[in-house]
Amino acid sequence: MLYTDLEDILGKVRASLEMEDVAGAVAAIEALRAPDQADLFHELEDEHQTALLPRLDPEDSADILEELEDEDAARIVATLTREEAVRIIDEMEPDEAADLIGELEPEHQEYVLAKLEDQAEVRPLLLHPEDTAGGVMTSEFLALGRRMSVADALAALRTWKPDAEDIHEVYAVDRFGRLVGMIGMRQLLMQQPELILNDVIDPETVFVSVAADQEEAARLMSRYDLASLPVIDTQGVLVGVITVDDVIDVLEEEATEDFQRFGGGEPLDRPYLESGVLTVVRKRVGWLLLLFITETLTGSVLRHFEEQMAAVVSLAFFIPLLIGTGGNAGSQTTSTIIRALAVEDLDKRGLLRPLLHELMVGVVLGTILAVVAYGRAILWGTGEAVALTVAVAIFAIVIWANVLGSVLPILASRLKIDPTVVSGPAMSTLVDATGLFIYFTVAGIILAI
């Protein structure tokens, strides 16, 4: 990978800056690719960032701001003169510029917008919530009239100079600006120059509505292998395009959120090391307390069965083992189900198939663990009756955990709750209290206490 040499270059840039050799630092940075420039830049002291940014080529500065987190970029922009800020933001892709401007102070925002060359492209993008298709689309696309000839379309392509490099589709619109189809650049190049666009475009274009969730846009692009996805408003008018690089970011972001939620915390929104201690605490403490309160049920169950515990003390030794194993089985199940829902291998409408599936898996796993647990209990010198109790209880608990782990995420999903609320920790906690209840009920029957 290319970016592991960054530390060396960072050292050189720092040394140049110490010796007030800004030109040397600029040269070292401009030799890098944008994401590497941004990573390196991010490591520099604040005053160095402010000194360097206006000295770089505005296109490079724009690339760096695009790669940084929006809040960091806004913080740096606030330290520049307004003229410098406008000059750099004008080189940014409109969707990235809109995200950045959204983070600026209101009066700074208005000033920058008013002076921006591209303001007609940027302003409409400010209207859409960040996590919708409108929030991730760019207004930089080529829409041509459906009656235009292929030759004229190619000529338009030649003179078009977008800030982004990787746009490879041409969209055809009717006289109201409504999307009627699209054609890839290579296909366009292969057509007879005198044909009109309307006859060469693919009219079955996949599109998404501007208000749709960004995840829906990402799923469509991933499913249909699209390099770009047109975005339309309620009238069918083409208002933007989502490019595949933004979609990869969306998919990674959603996977990160699912992962963190599944671990039992709220998503951090920002890269880990940039999330302060109190932010991390705030994202975790709610769930931790809620689970703690739920977990106190275990105390109530144990009090309820106090006599049984006192009668057969060795029952207590198996408590963490039984409920821990139940939690593990539940966590295995729920992680599989949650991910299957996220990638649409499972449909939230079908409950029965996954339930039966996990029931059977639970029976097999429960049987295996029951045999092992019985053997282990006998080896520990536990009496046969208690060993049998442990074996039967673990069989029942594993099945119970698998059923809960399959049903709960699907039910959550049906209730339009994110299924990751049934996280691993939530599963363990639910299985702890109910598992104890199962254990002592089995003990009551087998040991007749």
State the minimum distance, in angstroms, from the CB of residue 437 to a copy of itself: 12
The residues pairing with 202 across neighbouring beta strands, listed in sequence order, are 182
Decide if 242 contacts 208 (C-beta within 8 A). yes
Residue 107 CB, nearest distance to a copy of itself (Å)?
A: 33
Measured from the CB of residue 19, what is the shortest distance to a copy of itself in angstroms? Answer: 27
Give the residue with the Cβ less far from a copy of itself, 114 or 273: 273
How far apart CA 214 and CA 414 sit, in angstroms, is: 20
Judged by beta carbon, residue 124 or residue 171, the one nearer a copy of itself is 171
Smallest distance from a copy of itself to CB 392, Å: 16
- Measured from the CB atom, the residue of 119 and 328 that comes closer to a copy of itself is 328
Of 49 and 191, the one with the shorter C-beta distance to a copy of itself is 191
Q: Which is nearer to a copy of itself, 289 or 417 (CB)?
A: 289
387 φ/ψ angles, rounded to the nearest 5 degrees: -60, -40
**Shortest distance, CB of residue 40 to a copy of itself, whole angstroms?**
14
Identify whether the C-beta of residue 337 lies closer than 8 Å to the C-beta of residue 419.
yes
Angle between helix axes 70-78 and 94-103 (nearest 10 degrees) is 70
Cβ distance to a copy of itself smaller for residue 175 or 349: 349
Q: Nearer Cβ to a copy of itself, position 2 or 415? A: 2
